[in-house]
Amino acid sequence: MSKTICLRNGTVFTGIAMVPHTSVIIEDGKIADVISNDKLDTLKLPTDTTMIYVNGAYIAPGFIDTHIHGIHGYDTSDASVDSILEMSKALINYGVTAFCPTLYPQDHDTFMKSIESIRDAMGHEEGAKIFGANLEGPFISREKHGALDPKYMQPINMKKMEEYNKAAGGNISIMTVAPELEGIHELALYCAKNGIVLAAGHSDATYDDMMEGVKTGILHSTHFFNAMRRLHHRDPGVVGAIMIYPNIACEIIADGYHLHPAIVKLLGRVKPIHKIVLVTDSLKPTGQTSGKLMANNEEVYCKNGLFVRKADETIAGSALTMIKGVRNLVEDMDVPLEDALRMASCNPATVISKQIETGYIMPGRDADIVVFDKDYNIKLTMVNGDIKKK
């Protein structure tokens, strides 16, 4: 039976423009029309249309978090289908309609089980869609391990890469690699043939190394500036290459710590806005309201929006959510709301080129939508036209 929903009288960000006094019509999980309020009454909507008045709130494409390790006490390294599905349910609270569960390097058996758990969870989501796994390694640099355990980082091994892809059922969306590693050319060709987006990260690559990687198809980068060779006037390194070449996309963690607000402003001046992708890189205890907070099997506490290890006060990682990232970009980093929303929805949809039916509010696209008010409170999250309960 046909199902029609009308989100009435919102300020709609289509992915192209911000248009006030506008309504969105959804039919059978797809966006059927985007129309000005004064023309809405001329439409002959079905008598059983569900009318939802949003009273001027923002209606935007659902957020897509392409780099997230955990949330609400669940984590990809639990190697559990249930944990992945709980992440899916939790993410709708923050306006996320799709995500890439992200794995960091760990022992081979756990890594394989974690990949399999993502594969087996796909198609059973009750909240945000799973677009495929994001492998943050293991073919990355021990010199730039960041918060990851360097003992699990390894040289490029094509046999293992094939094992990972087979375990994922061909559902690896993104993989972080260090372009300076031997064998990067063969890996890049394999990934290109299998629809895997390669991202430079956790890398000590020189500028020349990075340029060789670009030739093979590395056109994305993981958490810009963090865990990568710094910009130097005699060797621009990974950071310099990302800034110089407009077609290299980059992730940003907009929590005000991983990148200083001034760096985000600088990036906005040198990069096309459609190449900047907002991610959370959030860890297991993000949004957790009870129990011991654990990240990477160590107890942590939250301080100034970051998780800090209790044992030694070392920063363990991010506690960011996508709606908070959007707010930070606008209020603390002088990014126009339209651009912040592009970074949270349209741009990640474009990076994962296999997923072309979402990321925009336009007729024919999947009805993956977030509604939020001027104070960035999530009012409604919709996935494939279904309103998800928080």
Identify the H or E element spanning 210: helix 207-216
β-sheet bridge partners, residue 369: 61, 382
Look at the block and give the residue holding tokens 């957020």.
63
Give the whole-angstrom CA distance, residue 192 versus residue 218. 10
The torsion angle over the Cα atoms of residues 296, 141, 244 and 132, rounded to 10 degrees, is -50
Identify whether the C-beta of residue 241 lies closer than 8 Å to the C-beta of residue 214. yes
Report how far apart, in Å, the C-alpha atoms of 340 and of each of 65, 277, 346 are.
13, 9, 10
Give the whole-angstrom CA distance, residue 123 versus residue 240. 40
Give the whole-angstrom CA distance, residue 2 versus residue 32. 12
Give the whole-angstrom CA distance, residue 320 versus residue 283. 9
Set 78, 209, 255, 281: catalytic member: 281
Give the whole-angstrom CA distance, residue 11 versus residue 249. 28
Report how far apart, in Å, the C-alpha atoms of 347 and of each of 15, 29, 37, 114, 231 are.
9, 22, 28, 27, 25
Active site residue 375: no
Q: b/e map of 232-259 (b: 16 or more CB within 10 Å)?
A: eeeebbbbbbbbeeeebbbbbbbbbebb
DSSP of 21-87, one letter per residue? Answer: EEEEEEETTEEEEEEEHHHHTTS---TT-EEEE-TT-EEEEPEEEEEE-EETTEEGGG--HHHHHHH
3-state secondary structure of 127: coil
Active site residues: 281
